[in-house]
Amino acid sequence: MINPIGSAELKPLFVYDSEEHDHLTHEAESLPSIIISSGAAGNAVMMGAGYFTPLTGFMSLADGISCAETMQMTSGQFFPVPVLNLVQDVSAIKDAKRIALRDPNVEGHPVIAIQEVESIEEVSDEEMQLMTDKVYRTQDPEHPGVAAFNAQGRFAISGPIKVMNFSYFQTDFPDTFRTAVEIRNEIKEHGWKKIVAFQTRNPMHLAHEELCHMAMDRLGCDGLVIHMLLGKLKPGDIPAPVRDAAIRKMVELYFPPNSAMVTGYGFDMLYAGPREAVLHAYFRQNMGATHFIIGRDHAGVGDYYGAFDAQTIFDDEVPAGAMDIEIFKADHTAWSKKLNKVVMMREAPDHQKDDFVLLSGTKVREMLGNGEAPPKEFSRPEVAKILIDYYQAQ
């Protein structure tokens, strides 16, 4: 199986030993504590689950800036985005050597991790702007990722962490949330050797389904991991439970047995386009995938990124040898009226726009809200029914 990045084995930061877990739980009661941001909680979950191997905790400011500028920490270790614990007020933890990090997304703010404090550094406006610009390629406060990143605070708390739980992801999505450790184990149980991963934050329409089939066929893969984001999205995006139900129905009906896994991970969407595409590839290698599908405007929002910037970054900016996972570069897929099947649009050069079945997201939402299923060339009827039920209940 493909090795994790920078390590011969996964390094999950979750405390699996029950005795140590109990000890830390009791210790946390007496430690200074702080409620962290939703983004930092998501990073803790990803580190706990092994997805961010070989990170041992939250980065220092120098490492965060270095990752933003070069996709490498000051040690030379590859990581595509800063992983910072940014907070607004550190008065409650001043001079503390160990602190309890509290979850902002769970009622009662339980301790999600314990952190050893190596440093508390104030981040200047110039440093925030630099990281924002490098990661998001914009400083527009209307960009949802930029807004979330800059709302976290200006104090960076660095140091290793031990993760106590997986926030709400394990309890709210018990059938879907999986750690990188669990996915690797399931891949072994399936006996898969070549595995392609598909990222989604939306329900999968027919074009997405066919793109997965195309990738599996062309790459000779024996397994597909549909890996959906379960964390916070932007307003208007379909909630994770609805997506989950729709995707599971699609896999049940339209994929052969033992060929596809439906899983999810706990993380807030960055909408960082090219940089987020690299991050997505990074943790897909850590979970055991050998290939990763990246299509048009992967992880983008609005018009901030070029249609294929998330593909070209792997050729132009990712340090050589940083990752072993291979990228399956896809174009937009759609139903061809001429060929009566889903095709990649670049592979149909004789087609005009009207030769494809293309519907805007706004039009699809309008149809679903009116109880009307999109055409069968766009969406499976069984999937459309789940989405119609959701929109009509709003």
Q: List residues with catalytic annotation.
A: 201-202
CA–CA distance, 155 with 303 (Å, rounded to integer): 31
CA–CA distance, 360 with 320 (Å, rounded to integer): 38
Token pair, residue 134, equals 């490098």
Q: Are 292 and 284 in contact (CB under 8 A)?
A: yes
Q: Are 155 and 87 in contact (CB under 8 A)?
A: yes
| Dihedral, 142, 145, 151, 154 alpha carbons, nearest 10 | -120
Token pair, residue 101, equals 């990090």
Token pair 């290939």: residue: 291
Q: Are 362 and 391 in contact (CB under 8 A)?
A: no
Token pair 């999505």: residue: 173
Rg (CA), the chain: 21
Q: Are 12 and 53 in contact (CB under 8 A)?
A: yes
Token pair, residue 255, equals 């994929």
CA–CA distance, 197 with 110 (Å, rounded to integer): 32
The 8-class DSSP code of residue 244 comes to H
Would you list the DSSP string of 8-52? SS----B---HHHHHHHHHHHTTS-EEE--HHHHHHHHHHHTTTT
| Geometric angle at alpha carbon 304, from 303 and 307, rounded to 5° | 70
Q: Are 113 and 57 in contact (CB under 8 A)?
A: no
CA–CA distance, 219 with 226 (Å, rounded to integer): 16
Adjacency order of strands within the sheet including 333-336: 341-344, 333-336, 356-357
CA–CA distance, 341 with 38 (Å, rounded to integer): 42
**What's the distance, Cα to Cα, between the start and end of the chain in Å?**
44
